[in-house]
Structure 1
Amino acid sequence: MQLDLLANTFMRAPGEAIGTFALESALDELACELGMDPIELRMRNDTEVDPISGKKKFSHRKLRELYALGAERFGWHERNPEPRSTCDGRWLVGTGVATAYHPQMNMPANVTVRLSADGSVLVRCAFHEMGMDAATAQAQIAADALGVPFDAVRVEYGDPTLPMTPAAAGSVQTASIAASVIQACEELKQKLQAMARKTGGGSSEEILRRAKVPHVEAVIGSDTRLGRIAGRAQFLPGFLIGAQRWIKAAPGAHFCEVKVDAETGETRVSRWLGVFDIGRVINAKTAASQLRGGIVMGLGLGLGLAMAEETLVDPRTGRIMNPSLSEYHVPVHADIPPIDVSFLDDPDPTTPLGILGAGEVGVTGVGAAVANAVHHATGKRVRDLPITLDKLL
């Protein structure tokens, strides 16, 4: 019988969120069969080259450092590796780990940067904002590139009449726009130097006043049809060469502690530590918030206290049986534990400003870390998300 169902594709998170659940759960199961520490198994099988082709090297891979730092901060080596060996009253306590991973990509981005005679800077770019405070990051990048105070930079965004840019998807937005902002700022400095040779040196404000111009502007890209084609033609060779030489990705290591009621199967995530290598960190506060938000989203995929997040389908009709938020349960604040997030802040030498992306790597590996911790607590292996009570009783 054919049913009209939702497509089997990524939803609410990149495909790596589901893919890493299968891989990282299998690694944990293999470690248990071998009597080996799950981290040691991962480190023995770590690689400096693409495991598929066996040729391309990772441009920046610090997974060993992430696991070493995370294990020390989490107290991983203090645990008893035997499943169902640790209790806190009626609660069975377990810990689990999993690797986070998300590929890094860049896309062409159109921007204009204007430096005015009063010392102010205007960055114009039609990116959209979903809460990650992208405008702050781009203002910081422009201020640093031009050597002006952060407060002197204003960013216009979210308007379709502004220069076109890639969407906030695939963790590409910050690095993509940063590359164009840096290029625009370099062009501005070159224009100022040319003007200074004619009018004399001094600050940018003095140069512009002596030249009797209100501002100087640099434009990167074009929104015309021919301009878009030319921009892609200019972008693609470098992109393809980089893709042939390097595997670029942001990795991370998740450490999770859960408590499971021995009688009811109620499961609570009690502690979380995530350590990530997202390249250069432009803004520590917003980057940590993105990673923490990704972990919360992953907890929704993996666990939602008593009732888990799951789309239930009637096999007779194909209709979704829990179509509204009154029936579709997601984790709330009371379900989320304290989440400790940190990063290495080590730039990747092959990407603009060394950025690897923070938007989605946080959600990958989360479901597996929870499932692995549940197995350590209860001895029961859950191979199908979400983790519901019936699977633990």
Structure 2
Amino acid sequence: MTSQSRHLYAADHILVRQSLVELDTTPNTFMRAPGEAIGTFALEATVDELAHRLGIDPVELRLRNEPAVNPLDGKKFAHRMLRECFVRGAAEFGWADRSPEPGSMRDGRWLVGWGVAAAYHPAVQFTANVRVRLSADGAVLVRCGFQEMGMGGATAQAQIAADALGVPVESVRVEYGDSDLPTGAPAGGSAQTASVAASLLTACDKLTRALDKLAKQHRTFPAEALRAAGKPYLEAAVGADSGLGAVAGQLRFFSKFALDQRRWVKAAKGAHFCEVRVDPDTGETRISRWTGVFDVGRVINAKTAVSQLKGGIVMGIGLALSEETLVDPRTGRIMNPSLSEYHVPVHADIPPIDVHYLDEPDPTMPLGLIGIGEVGITGVAGAVANAVFHATGKRVRDLPITLDKLL
């Protein structure tokens, strides 16, 4: 809930506090982005309110308070291009045409509002064990037990292996999602691609060096080395699932994690620009336009990256406008336990979403990639709430933004 508040804005005095309150109801747990989806709503709505009270453009206020180093402890940012995200997003969205006064923009009977917010999600890496086999016919087999939930993880790892080994991507097959395979990184924390890629690159490097050595022994080209040696394949592995190898892998992970924590602040970032239309008589709110620009390091696959970022924005729109768990105060039980009464966005609720990414690599991460899965939803609710305030002059601090809160 508070990670973004530690890093997003320069300030001489920062108080970050979290309180735990015991309630006789179901406990909170991860929902989409662990904490940052809600935390960015609170922070970005507050920054927007500050901008309004000061009479400063919300984008300009953010640019003025962009920190050069981490505000809490002075650590360096491993990679930070949030300023570039805001500048490009403002240009793509046409932010310069915004009338600053709330309620001053209309389209027929609709009140029109424009809102902006920052996106933020920390970048982490887990351990991943990988085996890579190169056959004499040029086929490559990558084996790792990570799971695939539709985000294109296997496609990305096939592309990474093909690039590292200099083979067509069609020659690479990825086996995943099986407990018999080497232990993979979970699809959580937006960390899977970078975690698996780190081990995959090491394994491919081992394989390339072994192939070069074999080629020298048989005085041939690396592509012909396996046939010349009479070998059906070469294989390289990184990590182990048991024994001393597993212990060593954990030690490497924790030592790297501790070193990174001391040296850098790593995160995916972005800027959301949102247009809403609000009916002044009914309070009906429609999102009519969206632009998002993201700093997520190097992008491995443009199609899957844009799809994940758009998906995060769609989920954030649900968070902002319709999704709510209703609890009976007498019993503590959930009153809307099915999708018939828990309202998620449908096609009619979603505007055209214009997504851009900077594609600038983070030099401290494998291949320069950071993580995409969760940053898309962060900041979305803040951008919507800020646009609703710009349209109506009403500041909603409790999600979702429903009709009764605007009338």
What TM-score bracket applies, with the shorter chain setting the length?
Answer: over 0.9
State the match for 2:179 in structure 1: 160
> Residue 161 of structure 2 is aligned with which of 142, 160, 163?
142
Counterpart check, 1:22 vs 2:42: yes
Q: Measure how far apart 1:272 and its partner are.
A: 0.3
Identify the residue that residue 249 of structure 2 maps to in structure 1.
231
SS in 2 for 1:207: helix
Q: Secondary structure at the match of 1:114?
A: strand
Would the aligned equivalents of 1:93 and 1:257 in 2 still touch at CA under 8 Å?
yes
Spell out the pairing of 1:232-251 with structure 2 (5 A cutoff).
232-251=250-269
Identical-residue share of aligned pairs (%): 68
Aligned to 2:124: 105
Q: What is aligned with 2:62?
A: 42
Q: How does 1:333-372 map to 2 (within 5 A)?
A: 333-372=347-386
Could you tell me how far 1:234 is from its partner in structure 2? 2.2
Q: Secondary structure at the match of 2:113?
A: strand
Distance in structure 1 (CA, Å) of the matches to 2:155 and 2:49: 43
Note if contact 1:3-1:317 (Cα within 8 Å) is conserved in structure 2: no
What amino acid is the match of 2:140? Answer: V
- 1:11 matches 2:11: no
Matches within 5 A, 1:61-76: 61-76=80-95
* Distance across 2 between alignment mates of 1:273 and 1:97: 10
2:343 equivalent to 1:322: no
Correspondence list, 1:98-137, <5 A:
98-137=117-156
Alpha-carbon distance in structure 1 between the residues aligned to 2:335 and 2:128: 42
Identify unmatched segments of 5+ residues in structure 2. Answer: 1-21
Which residue number in structure 2 is paired with residue 171 of structure 1?
190
Deviations 1:177-216 (A, max 9, x none): 0001100000001111111121112142x10011111000
Contact 2:145 2:180 in 1 (8 A): yes
Query: Which residue type is aligned with residue 45 of structure 2?
Result: S
Between 267-276 and 318-327, the greater mean CA deviation after superposition: 318-327
Q: 2:72 aligns with which of 52, 55, 69?
A: 52
Task: Give the secondary-structure state (helix, strand or coil) at the position aligned to 2:376.
Answer: helix
C-alpha separation between the residues in 2 aligned to 1:165 and 1:4? 37
Letter in 2 for 1:278: V
Residue pair 1:113, 1:122 contacting (<8 A) in 2 also:
yes
Distance 2:212 2:340 in 1: 62
Q: 1:236 Cα shift? A: 2.5
Q: Is the 8 A contact 1:56 1:245 kept in 2?
A: yes
Whole-Å Cα distance in 1 between the matches of residues 177 and 255 of structure 2?
Answer: 29
Structure 2 CA distance for aligned equivalents of residues 118 and 192 of structure 1? 14
Question: Match for 2:241: what amino acid?
Answer: D
The one-character-per-residue Cα deviations of 1:115-136 (angstroms, maximum 9, x if unpaired) are: 0000000000111111111111
* Contact 2:314–2:350 under 8 Å retained in 1: yes
**Distance in 1 (alpha carbons) for counterparts of 2:339 and 2:360:** 41
- Which stretch of the first structure deviates more once superposed, 4-13 or 122-131? 4-13
The aligned residue for residue 295 of structure 2 is 277
User: TM-score scaled by structure 2?
Assistant: 0.93
1:4 Cα deviation from its structure 2 partner? 3.5
The two structures have a TM-score, normalised by structure 1, of: 0.97
**Mapped partners of 1:186, 1:235: distance in 2:** 19
Specify which of 292, 301, 306 is matched with residue 310 of structure 2: 292
How many residue pairs get aligned? The number is 386
Q: Structure 1: any 5+ residue segments left out of the alignment?
A: none
Contact 1:84 1:379 in 2 (8 A): yes
CA–CA distance in structure 2, aligned partners of residues 311 and 225 of structure 1: 46
Let me know the Cα RMSD of the aligned residues. Answer: 1.0
List per-residue Cα deviations over 1:354-386 (Å, max 9, x = no partner).
Answer: 011000000000000000000000000001111
Deviations 1:22-81 (A, max 9, x none): 00000000000000000111111110211222x201011101111110000100011101
Task: Identify if the C-alpha distance between structure 1 residues 90 and 174 changes in structure 2 by more than 3 Å, giving closer, same or farther.
Answer: same
CA contact (8 A) 1:100 1:253 kept: yes
The residue number in structure 1 matching 2:326 is: 312
SS in 2 for 1:138: helix
Check whether the contact 1:48–1:61 (CA below 8 A) recurs between aligned residues: no
Q: Matched residues in 2 for 1:36 and 1:363: separation?
A: 26
